[in-house]
Amino acid sequence: MTEATFDPKDFEPIVHTRQVQSISRPSLSYWQDAWIRLKANTRALVSLYIVIGLMAFTILGPIVWSIDPSLQDLDQISIPPGADREATLVQSYIPWDGTTLLEVSPGLRLAEPATTQSVRLLWDPIDGLSGYRIFRNLFPVGPERALGLPLAENFSSRDVAFEDRLDLRPGRYYYSVLGVNESGDESGYLETLVVNVARVITFDEALSRGLIDETADLKEGDTLTLGLHPLGTDYLGRDLLARLMSGARVSLFIGICAPFLFVAFGVIYGSAAGFVGGRFDQGMMRFADFVVALPFLLFMILFKIVFGIGPGESGIAPMLLAMVILLWPATARLVRGQILQIRQEAYISASQLLGAKTNYLVLRHMIPNTMGVILVTLTFAVPSAIFTEAFLSFIGMGVAPPTPSWGSMCNEGIKTMLTHPHELIFPALLISITVLAFNLLGDGLRDALDARMRSTE
């Protein structure tokens, strides 16, 4: 019988030389996974950058471009972007007696070079007429004889001078003189003159606007450069860029705050209904159905009247309140449905078996698991809130002037759409870009966060 010999080495554990199982990729949380999906979606990523850019425009913009949005530049009213900013210095206004300094040529003519201070017209007397009517138009008179704004009527055929000082802006005007006969009807005499009006500024005005100081060595005929307005000015001479930034604050504040508030309310309401269930749930959801049935915009307007806007108030708070009152049910329904679904899940039962309390279940399991849906709802709620604000402000039921918002700027811009389209285009463009960015971001988030809701694109 041989004796078995053991070496102590034989009792040492075998060292694994080969890894049986390997994790080839790091484990990802739900949110990390969603972020990777979102990053792969170019459209959503670009939208995200646009949204960040808009935030920067709103928050940092006023620091970079620190012009007061309510400051009126009276020399530059309704100026399009990139317009000429030169103004010629002139003497203060001297009244005119109808005589001329320029060479006399027949027909309707200018007595002096036309400036924003005054346009002085002269024409030849025509016998047999009892007077003349003077008109001014921004557009060519054309075959329909659109003469434009009636300025004055001269009641004598010898009275052949007219001075226009009414709200003159640099640019082209079409002046027409129409002869009137004894009976007060139009006679055949009609003459039209195209006048290019140059911008001038007097010493006093330049001093009072801070363009020059007392000691400046300037003489008549020198040119001054007026203040810069990168995007032009509105009908009151307010800087459009500054107003857009300040309006962005209002529009984005409402657009982001309102969804946060009503989604938060909807989450509380919906999770309460979904968790408690039974009669309570039935009653709560029936009430939500009624609120959904209220015609949204009509009630927004009604609530605006009810909450009222006192003098000096902007009307932002009533609008927020009205949106929260009317818009929560959709989120509540959604969250309730999700909660009902999650309640059936095995991990909830497991958690309950381990002794989890209701609060813990709701806060730790249910709400985090509905977070994706909530986030998507939130993202889609932003553009619709911005739309609503713009819509209400546009029909004059939203933010009260002088507080600018993109919607109220559109409302002001549409009145001068034909002559100064930039006043409408810029706010409209910003609304569209914002809404577009949030919509695309919402699409991207939905695809990234929820496989079930993934769109078929």
Partner 1 sequence: MLRYSLKRLVQGVITVWFIATATFIAMHSVPGNPLANEKAVTAEIRANLEAKYGLDKPPFEQYLIYMGNLARGDFGISFTQQNREVNDIIREHFPVSATLGILAIVFAGLGGVLWGALTALYRNRLPDIVIMFLVILGISVPSFVVAAISQLSIVNLNALFDMSLLPVAGWGTIWHMLVPSLVLGLGTMAYLTRLMRSSMLEIVNADFVRTAKSKGLPATRIFTNHQLRNAILPVITVLGPSIAAITTGGFVVEFVFAIPGLGRYFVQAVQQLDYTVIMGTTVFYGAFLVFMVIVVDLLYGLVDPRVRLE
Tell me the closest approach of the beta carbon of residue 323 to partner 1, in angstroms. 15
Tell me the closest approach of the beta carbon of residue 424 to partner 1, in angstroms. 6
| Interface pick for partner 1 out of 295, 368, 401, 402 (rule CB under 8 A) | 295
**Location of structure tokens 């609503």:** 388
Q: Mark 230-269 with x for binding to partner 1 (rule: CB under 8 A) and - for no binding.
A: ----------------------------------------
Helices (H), 308-404: 316-343, 346-353, 358-360, 367-394
Structure token digits, residue 111 = 């007595």
Residues 6+ apart with CB under 8 A from 200: 87, 88, 89, 90, 115, 116, 117
Sign (positive or negative) of CA dihedral 241, 383, 261, 311: positive
How many of the chain's residues bind partner 1 (CB under 8 A)? 41
Tell me the closest approach of the beta carbon of residue 363 to partner 1, in angstroms. 33
> Using N-to-C axis directions, what is the helix angle for 296-307 and 367-394, rounded to 10°?
70
**CA distances in angstroms from 396 to 244, 321, 400, listed in the order given:** 18, 18, 8
Tell me the closest approach of the beta carbon of residue 143 to partner 1, in angstroms. 8
451 binds partner 1 (CB under 8 A): no
Tell me the closest approach of the beta carbon of residue 16 to partner 1, in angstroms. 49
Q: Mark 108-147 with x for binding to partner 1 (rule: CB under 8 A) and - for no binding.
A: -----------------------------------x----
| Interface pick for partner 1 out of 375, 440, 441, 449 (rule CB under 8 A) | 440
Render the burial of 150-188: b for 16+ CB within 10 Å, e for the rest.
ebeebeebeebebbbeeebebbebbbbbbbbeeeeeebe
Distance CA 324, CA 96 (A): 63
Q: Which of residues 304-343 bind partner 1 (CB under 8 A)?
A: 305-306, 308
Q: What does 193-258 look like in DSSP terms, one character per residue?
A: EEEEEBPEEEHHHHHHTTSS-TT----TT-EEEPPP-TT-B-TT-BBHHHHHHHHHHHHHHHHHHH
| Interface pick for partner 1 out of 424, 441, 445, 449 (rule CB under 8 A) | 424
| Nearer of residues 367 and 386 to partner 1, judged by Cβ | 386
293 binds partner 1 (CB under 8 A): yes
Distance CA 231, CA 377 (A): 35
Phi-psi region of 350 (alpha: psi -120 to 50; beta: other; left: phi over 0): alpha
Q: Mark 390-419 with x for binding to partner 1 (rule: CB under 8 A) and - for no binding.
A: xx--xxxx------------x---x--xx-
| Nearer of residues 151 and 258 to partner 1, judged by Cβ | 258
294 binds partner 1 (CB under 8 A): yes
Tell me the closest approach of the beta carbon of residue 309 to partner 1, in angstroms. 11
Tell me the closest approach of the beta carbon of residue 294 to partner 1, in angstroms. 6
| Nearer of residues 396 and 402 to partner 1, judged by Cβ | 396
| Interface pick for partner 1 out of 236, 264, 272, 301 (rule CB under 8 A) | 301
Tell me the closest approach of the beta carbon of residue 251 to partner 1, in angstroms. 11
| Interface pick for partner 1 out of 50, 181, 387, 416 (rule CB under 8 A) | 387
Instruction: Name which of 399, 272, 250, 396 is nearest 328 in CA terms.
Output: 272
Structure token digits, residue 236 = 């009151």
Which secondary structure element, helix H or strand E, spans residue 290, and what is its range? helix 278-293
**CA distances in angstroms from 255 to 23, 109, 259, 340, listed in the order given:** 44, 55, 7, 30
Binding stretches for partner 1 (CB under 8 A): 143, 289-290, 293-299, 301-303, 305-306, 308, 383, 387, 390-391, 394-397, 410, 414, 417-418, 421, 424, 428, 431-433, 435-436, 439-440, 455-457
